[in-house]
Amino acid sequence: MQTIQPKKIHHALLAAALIASTVSAVKAGDEISAGKDSKQAPPIETNPLCFGALCFDVQERLRVEGRENNYDFNSALHSKNDGTWLLNRFRLGAKWEPTSWFKFYVQGQDSREFFSERTKIPGTVGAEGNDAFDLRQAYIEIGDPKEFPLVLKAGRQELVYGDERLIGNFDWNNFGRSFDAVKLSLVQPNWQLDLFASSVVVINRGDFDKSDLFNGNNNHRDQVFSGLYFTAKDLCFGSFESYALWLTETNGTVSNQESSVAATRPLAGPASNHSSFGTYGGRIHGDPAKLHGFEFDVEGAYQSGTVRGLDLSAFATHSGIGYNFALPWNPRLFAEYNYASGDSNPKDGSIGTFQNLFPTNHKFYGAMDLFSWQNLSNPAISLTVNPVKNVTFKVEYDAFWLADTNDSWYRANGLTTVRPLTAAARKASSYCGSEVDAIATWKATKNVSFQVGYSHFFAGSYLKDTGAADDADFGYAMATLTF
């Protein structure tokens, strides 16, 4: 299938966006200057790419990454995943909103990886790869909650819930994540209940990106992800969420949704390829603005059902507490603990590994993306400060253990394992190592931001007991232009 070449459109739209933004800023400055002696309020900011009911949005993101030993922890070998490369992501969207109760939105995306030795096939050998301009979102939204409480949203869209530990758009990734979905929302002033059915979109280089329901991964998995998600906000302490989520597959394969079922594990009967399980849980968040600087976050989830014919019983928890100090630089100190069950016996016909679903794991378990919310025990502490306006600096320390050495160490994608699950691995120490992250973010303007980060992983005894155990490093610099 021939793909659209976006380069000329890409450059023209960026130029138009910059010109429009500059003109808008000059006009705003003239208005403020003309009325500076009066008490007139500053003008309301508007999107310079809006033309009546039609508005465009543009994002251009560049990220240079450098990684060493992130995959094999072996300095003696040069891996294709060691080195430096450039990731580029361009998004163009258009929203048509002729009335308050009807909206149509469409968004295309072009993602590229340059200068790496890795294959450019998305998801292969750790590569983010290339995906020429393709459809990322296309949905209609019907309803105005100010007039009537029901809102319907149907089509290709993002699903983002809670803090994205289970359902997120994975925006750090060069492709991100979207779903072909239908969502019905009951919206009230202080709470909302969503009912949705969806199938995740699979990135397919050289072909149209299709959702898994329509054979996007080319193996007829027929995956459907559905759920009920309740959110209560503006409570006296913060917010509360509860959810019931279901994932089914007609032809379950080893994937980031069934990562714990290795090909060597026994299958249970003729229906062993079928997977169907539920995830039930909730989250409570304490808002520092309502708790005099204190904040807390607690989430727990339980899973039951079957994964490739194996009985599933698993759970995960997260708890954190912090304080925002009323001091110069606005320091925020936050401590947390994350746990997710692993499988204690890979030969008993059942499975105990928590399934991480569709998360944005980059936000939680270290910036190097070495861990996911499964078979994990992870205490962490972080300090965030604002030394100058629009600049944030964060330093975080994480320590990692496996919940059970009879199960694997799973990377952030929930599929790739760090080491084979051998007899030596089952007898190894559960301590994987620790990671230090330092990240600085500068919001230069409303439309332009920069971020740089550096991470170092100190190899633990699990790596020493199972093979090479050299420390690993990761650094990056990222610039984002958004209109």
CA–CA separation, 245 and 162 (whole Å): 13
- Bridge pairing between strands 310-324 and 50-51: unpaired
Report which DSSP code applies to 3: P
Report which DSSP code applies to 309: T
CA–CA separation, 13 and 17 (whole Å): 6
Q: What number of CA atoms fall less than 13 Å from residue 337's CA on the CB side?
A: 4
* Total H helices, total E strands in the chain: 3, 21
Residues in the chain: 483
Report which DSSP code applies to 112: E
Q: List the domains of the chain with CATH numbers.
A: 7-31+50-482 (2.40.160.100)
Closest CA to 110 of 95, 125, 88: 88
**pLDDT tens digit at each of 483 positions of the chain:** 444 444 444 544 444 444 444 434 434 444 434 444 445 565 666 788 899 999 999 999 999 999 999 999 999 998 888 999 999 999 999 999 999 999 999 999 999 999 988 887 777 767 787 888 999 999 999 999 999 999 999 999 999 999 999 999 999 999 999 999 999 999 999 999 999 999 999 888 878 888 887 776 766 778 899 999 999 999 999 999 999 999 998 876 533 322 333 333 333 333 467 889 999 999 999 999 999 999 999 999 999 999 888 899 999 999 999 999 999 999 999 999 999 999 998 888 899 999 999 999 999 999 999 999 999 999 999 999 999 999 999 999 999 999 999 999 999 988 889 999 999 999 999 999 999 999 999 999 999 999 999 999 999 999 999 999 999 999 999 999 999
Q: Which residue has the tokens 């910059």?
A: 18
Strand partners, 106: 94, 138
Structural element, H or E, at residue 25: helix 7-34
What was the pLDDT predicted at 298? 98
Q: What is the 3-state secondary structure (H, E, C) of 128-182?
A: CCCEEEEEEEEEEEECCCCCCCEEEEEEEECCCCCCCCCECCCCCCCCCCCEEEE
Closest CA to 364 of 324, 414, 327: 414
Collapse the DSSP code of 420 into the 3-class scheme (helix H, G, I; strand E, B; otherwise coil) and give the result: coil
Tokens of 167: 């359902």
Structural element, H or E, at residue 425: helix 423-426
Structural element, H or E, at residue 21: helix 7-34
